[in-house]
Structure 1
Amino acid sequence: MSKIEWTEATWNPIVGCSIVSPGCTHCYAMRMAARIEAMGNTAHYDGTTQSSKAGAVWTGKVALAPDHILIEPLHRKKPTTYFVNSMGDLFHESVPDEWVDRIFAIMALAPQHTFQVLTKRSARMRAYFASDVGGLGRRVGIDLASANMVMEGVIPPCRAIRLPLPNVWLGISAEDQRRADERVPDLLATPAAVRFVSAEPLLGGIDFTSIPDGVVDGIPIAFNALSSVYDVAPHIDWIIVGGESGPGARPTHPDWARSIRDQCAAADVPFFFKQWGEFRIVPAKDGSETWPAPWFGSTPPRSGDLARMTRVGKKRAGRLLDGIEHNAMPKMMVAA
């Protein structure tokens, strides 16, 4: 089972990735992949990382997991919430559509589970579904009689396919306003039973109520991604916030987390505060690291909103935001 607070287990049908934005800089999965590769008993991890002065970094190589890992959810009867690809990105530019098809076929054939798919490649995700969303059920199939994953061209008739899959949640990572502005519109344009955002590591303030939506008559316009017009337009169903942990971690200003919490509360969107990361707020006399220098992220705090932070480690920093543990999640929507 997983130690990630917002899921129950991880499933890694794809491994390998590459750095695409500032939130990737200290990615825990790079270090973990290097350790797994060094153990030498998981060949599909070979070549996914390389050494650098900063430690292990992704090479950009991706690999499909062996069959026994691919079909793992099909063997588990107990309903389980899976985080898909904690060791990679399903929509990485080097992952062929055929691999994505296979993984969605497995998720379709395991309706007792909930699958949480998280990506930084929101444009690729949007394009994948836009290309032939109606044909997804026809494109993918699994030969359940063997351990081989075989593209059959049709889902076995014993399993009805409803799209979007009711047991698959699609999410994007957004570490700051720029990445939210880029990725949230793609998320909302992608069909999904549940749409969510992971703002971890949170490196800057994010206003989800003012996402850019083009220019009209020379005037920039924006929309509120947390609310739905007449309950028809898509909106974000869930937001996770977390600070960065591990070597080189950058602190999260408390006002950034508070702002997202308050935005979610105003829109009645579930809010999950995962962790502070390595740093916590302390009285000025106790701080060993001070805000703002050098920790600005992309949104420096306003004068008078400075917070003194000290590095105490993930466990001691905890996950209370203003004394409250926030664990809200969307309603489970798995099939019976």
Structure 2
Amino acid sequence: MADGTKIEWTDATWNPITGCSVVSPGCTNCYAMKLAGTRLKHHPSREGLTRNSKAGPVWTGEVRFNPQWLDEPLRWKKPRMIFVCAHGDLFAEGVPDEWIDQIFAVMALAPQHTFQVLTKRPERMRDYLQEMARCFEHDSAEFSRRWGTAAAEVTGSPCAAGAIEDIPWPLPNVWLGTSAEDQDRYSSRWPYMEELQELGWLTWLSAEPLLGRILLRVTGLREVGPDARVHQSSLPQWVVAGGESGPNARPMHPYWPRQLRDQCADAGVPFHFKQWGAWGKPTKPRPSGTPGRFALAASPEGASEFWPAHVVEIGHWPRQIDLFGGATVLEHVGKKAAGRLLDGIEHNGFPGDPPMTPRSGSAHVKDFEAFVAETAPKLHWKIYQDLGADPSRSNGYYDGWQHGFGEASFGPLPLPQLIDEMKASVTAKVRALGDDRQ
């Protein structure tokens, strides 16, 4: 529990639940996991939640309810942004619904605060809030039994049970987020957030630690609709991005946060760049071969689906041949030295802020080409099956597939030709508009 925090995008942390489990690569160097197994390992709220391993403390999967902190936000009168369960996951597998009911009751009874919920389990969050919506709209008795009872228990006042039923739902002071470190995790998690957005919740993305590029329009469940057309997904309403910090931090390619920033600018989505993390610009040039913790970030020019912009750690200052193609050199300098300026600008966007300036039409074309390279091969067999075509044919022809970005129909076309046709079509469309802001 901390009224005050060094986390750049919030004012305070609230930990009514602690403990978690490792679910994806972004969890490897989790700061909460390391703290629970080191400095806080004897604290009653953390004791026994981790086990030792060769890589350091690792979550056991056990979760713990901390009732002594449950009503803290109700005592804070000054409005704050509060990061909920910063040292756990509100929707972790072992967390019973009864605990979540009490936490949502507190958030509902503290409208002066903004609560920032973040989970790597958006499917459970979706299920929970769909049930909440069903009860609120169609089963008032069940809503009262669960959230009304929770409000009365937390406050010790029966009046709270009635008060919570008069509060508008979904809660406008609760922001629901999911974290994704790369495209695979984003594509699998964001569709659940789209469903929450449709219910009226504000949804956001934490791309931290950012371990790969993320194209916000590419998600796993909504690439193809029942009409075999590409459907654009709903974007996050806020994006936070940052690199990994700590002694074992993995480097972030500079292109990845820039691409996220640019996508947000184009779509009018607030963007918050939290930090570069432990890796930043070298403190000074060294002679070739000088030992140290360095990384090479390959130039994004010429990157493709098969050879994306990548970054690799090296144990010496690079030689000239290593820089062929315009690679960027990074050094493990620490979070403070690396800072949080992205191309000289500190990005502190929050929901409700004025939008950033969009980019030029040519930049849109480049993003679309990246979208096609990322999406078309993945849609290949799916579109085949939807159209009843034979997926065993080696060339992979699309029979009459109409893409979702214009009126032209392609078919039958082999996959490489389809990609070229789609790129040419959108490029011509943007140029024909004659407006560089489009």
Classify the TM-score, shorter chain. Answer: 0.7 to 0.9
Q: Is the contact between residue 211 and residue 252 of structure 2 (CA under 8 Å) also seen in structure 1?
A: yes
Q: Is the contact between residue 102 and residue 151 of structure 1 (CA under 8 Å) also seen in structure 2?
A: no
Aligned residue for 1:32? 35
In the alignment, the residues of structure 1 paired with residue 334 and residue 217 of structure 2 have an alpha-carbon distance, to the nearest angstrom, of 32
Amino acid at match of 1:162: P
Q: Is the contact between residue 119 and residue 172 of structure 1 (CA under 8 Å) also seen in structure 2?
A: yes
CA positional deviation for 1:289: 1.1
CA positional deviation for 1:308: 1.2
CA change 1:174–1:274 in 2 (3 A) is same
Deviations 1:279-316 (A, max 9, x none): 013499458413259xxxx9841794632110100000
Amino acid at match of 2:265: A
Structure 2: 5+ residue runs without aligned partners? 137-142, 287-291, 299-305, 311-323, 354-438
* Residues matched between the structures, number: 314
Identity of aligned residues (%): 50
CA positional deviation for 1:6: 0.2
* Match for residue 177 of structure 1 among 183, 189, 198: 183
Q: Is the contact between residue 148 and residue 162 of structure 2 (CA under 8 Å) also seen in structure 1?
A: no
In the alignment, the residues of structure 2 paired with residue 73 and residue 151 of structure 1 have an alpha-carbon distance, to the nearest angstrom, of 15
Give RMSD over aligned pairs.
2.8
In the alignment, the residues of structure 2 paired with residue 100 and residue 154 of structure 1 have an alpha-carbon distance, to the nearest angstrom, of 20
Aligned residue for 1:232? none
* Match for residue 147 of structure 2 among 117, 127, 140: 140
Deviations 1:58-81 (A, max 9, x none): 000001112x30000011111111
Aligned residue for 2:344? 323
CA positional deviation for 1:211: 2.5
Aligned residue for 1:233? none
In the alignment, the residues of structure 2 paired with residue 113 and residue 22 of structure 1 have an alpha-carbon distance, to the nearest angstrom, of 32
Q: Is the contact between residue 19 and residue 64 of structure 2 (CA under 8 Å) also seen in structure 1?
A: yes
CA change 1:143–1:131 in 2 (3 A) is closer
Amino acid at match of 2:65: L
* Match for residue 203 of structure 1 among 199, 202, 211: 211
Amino acid at match of 2:57: A
CA change 1:313–1:114 in 2 (3 A) is same
Which protein is richer in strand relative to its size? 1
Aligned residue for 1:229? none
TM-score by length of 1: 0.85
Task: Tell me, yes or no, if structure 1 residue 239 matches structure 2 residue 239.
Answer: yes
Structure 1: 5+ residue runs without aligned partners? 227-235
In the alignment, the residues of structure 2 paired with residue 329 and residue 255 of structure 1 have an alpha-carbon distance, to the nearest angstrom, of 22
> Of the two, which has the highest radius of gyration?
2
Q: Is the contact between residue 83 and residue 117 of structure 1 (CA under 8 Å) also seen in structure 2?
A: yes
CA positional deviation for 1:223: 1.6
Task: Tell me, yes or no, if structure 1 residue 20 matches structure 2 residue 28.
Answer: no
Superposition pairs of residues 1-336 of structure 1, within 5 angstroms = 1-35=4-38, 37-38=40-41, 40=42, 42-66=43-67, 68-135=68-135, 137-138=143-144, 139-141=146-148, 149=154, 155-159=160-164, 160-190=166-196, 191-212=199-220, 213-215=222-224, 221-226=230-235, 236-282=236-282, 285-286=285-286, 288-292=293-297, 300-301=308-309, 304=325, 306-331=327-352
In the alignment, the residues of structure 2 paired with residue 220 and residue 107 of structure 1 have an alpha-carbon distance, to the nearest angstrom, of 40
In the alignment, the residues of structure 2 paired with residue 306 and residue 219 of structure 1 have an alpha-carbon distance, to the nearest angstrom, of 40
**4+ runs of 1 displaced by more than 6 Å?**
150-154
